[in-house]
Amino acid sequence: MFAHTVSPLTFCITGFSWLALASILGMATVVGLVHGTPLPPWVRALHVHATLVGGVAQIILGGFILLVPPPSSADRKEADSHPLTFLAMNGGLIGMLMGFWLHQYLVVAVAGFVVIAAFLSVIYTVWVRASRVSEFSIKESWYYALSLLCLVGGSVCGEIVALGYLPESYGSVRLAHIHLVVLGFVVLIVIGMVHHFLPTVWNRPRLAPQLARIGTILIPIGMAVLIGGFLNSSVPIELAAAAVLFLGGMLWTGTLFRTWLSSSHTGSAASDHLFVSVFFLIFTIILGMLVGANNLSSPRTLPYGKLHLVAYTHMTFVGFIMNAVMGAFSYMIPIILATGRVSSHKKRGAYLDRLTTMMNRWRTAQIATLNLGTMGLGILAALSWNVPLTSIYIRVASWTSLSFLMTGLMIFSVKLTAIIAKKPDQLRTGQISTDGLKLTA
């Protein structure tokens, strides 16, 4: 029975559950920094790996299986059940977390191999399915293939670090592990996801596709140069990479902005989250350029410590990635549930309308609290330049920011749980659909 329940949607929901759990550890870490009682380093390792492996990677890979279904609908049920892959990904992650907690890095390495095997299983499944689709084109898929290659390469670097190989190059390999996974895989994939979903949500063809294509070529080039700059500890190379990223990001964002202006879409939780994520991407690129410029001076013009690093990285993780994930969920999960649970097109439309309405409830409060909390972390870091960590201003700013973040996450989690629990037979008799939303991604 378990084999028939591990659908791609199960990966996505489980991934979001990992994100919610990891956010609690993240908040505890921030509180520890502010109160001058930092938590042990292994807690940070738990937070980072639960977020990236259990959360973001699992959601992305599950989403790939959803968006690239089997070419034959007859074998969909069997092909879309992945119990062994699911168990390997989540069981391996739990093993990694236990290894970090117990400081047993051989356990981390062995569990990491299990997780990599799960990644490769999903990548192979998606590649085989995509190659059988008549519209499949290597020219169009290089972006995602590069991102998945970065995931595998970054994971292998993590294994080298865990096993203690190449001790003389430990720092470089660790940097490669972090940045290949975060920049090469997560950020590039999320950019591709937003690029795909926003025009679909707006129900408007993408304007200036050639400029968007140039932007999506420049962004990975900038990422590669940036990783090279980190590995060589060269701030000028990092700044050059940031300039390429900024140019690519502006070209890509500009085409989306023009598409939005030409759209008659009045807004939804999906479009709002996705659109906000675009501006956080540009904002974090600009912040990165300022951080690099600050590092050129010796001594630095402004001190840059752990709290500032937390604020900067979470502008990306929460402002860009979390907004994008919540936007994609807000659009896709009602469609997936309606398509999977209702066979009648007429009843399916009514059910989809209901789920979409539920997902759009309290969207202003949800989006405002999530992003005010994210910006609040930046304000908190900036305050530390002028007042000591023991100041009441720091305490108020930290608890206010964390409260906003938790509120936005809780609102979304409650709505997500509610639409999953909402069965088609709970609809009122006679309810019909007037929504023209398509039931395909």
pLDDT in tens, 21-63: 999 998 888 888 888 888 898 999 999 999 999 999 999 999 8
Contact 118, 88 (CB under 8 A): yes
Peptide bond into 71 cis (omega under 30): no
Domain contains 50:
yes
Between 433 and 369, residue with greater pLDDT: 369
Percent of residues, the chain, with pLDDT higher than 70: 92
Residue 293 pLDDT level (bands cut at 50, 70, 90): confident
Question: Do 25 and 72 form a contact (C-beta atoms < 8 A)?
Answer: no
Q: What integer pLDDT is reported at residue 423 of this predicted model?
A: 85
Instruction: Kindly tell me if the per-residue pLDDT of 96 is higher than 50.
Output: yes
Q: What is the reported pLDDT for 144?
A: 87
SS3 state at 103 = coil
Q: Is residue 10 part of a domain?
A: yes
In a domain, residue 69? The reply is yes
The whole-number pLDDT of residue 138 equals 52
Rg from Cα positions in the chain:
22
Q: Looking at 7-16, 94-103, 381-390, which range is the least confident one?
A: 381-390
The mean pLDDT value for 109-122 works out to 95
**pLDDT value at 429 more than 60:** no
Q: What is the C-alpha separation between 13 and 80, in angstroms, rounded?
A: 15
For the entire predicted model, the pTM comes to: 0.89
Half-sphere exposure of 13 (CA within 13 A, CB side): 18
Domain count, the chain: 1
Q: Is 85 a domain residue? A: yes
Which range of residues forms the domain containing residue 119? Answer: 1-136
pLDDT of 388 reads 86
127 found inside a domain: yes
Mean pLDDT of the chain: 85
Determine the Cα–Cα distance for residues 258 and 266; give it in Å rounded to an integer.
15
Q: Is residue 19 part of a domain?
A: yes
Is residue 29 included in any domain, yes or no?
A: yes
* Percent of the chain topping pLDDT 90: 45
- 389 found inside a domain: no
pLDDT tens for 180-197 read: 999 999 999 999 888 888
Amino acid 46: pLDDT: 94
CA 199: distance to chain centroid? 19
Residue type, 305: G
346: confidence class by pLDDT, cuts 50, 70, 90: confident
User: Do residues 341 and 421 make contact, with C-beta atoms less than 8 angstroms apart?
Assistant: no
How many angstroms separate the CA atoms of 77 and 340, rounded?
A: 11
Say if CB 55 and CB 19 are below 8 A apart: yes
Q: Are 405 and 23 in contact (CB under 8 A)?
A: yes
Q: Read off the pLDDT band of 198 (50, 70, 90).
A: confident
Alpha helices in 391-437 (DSSP H): 392-421
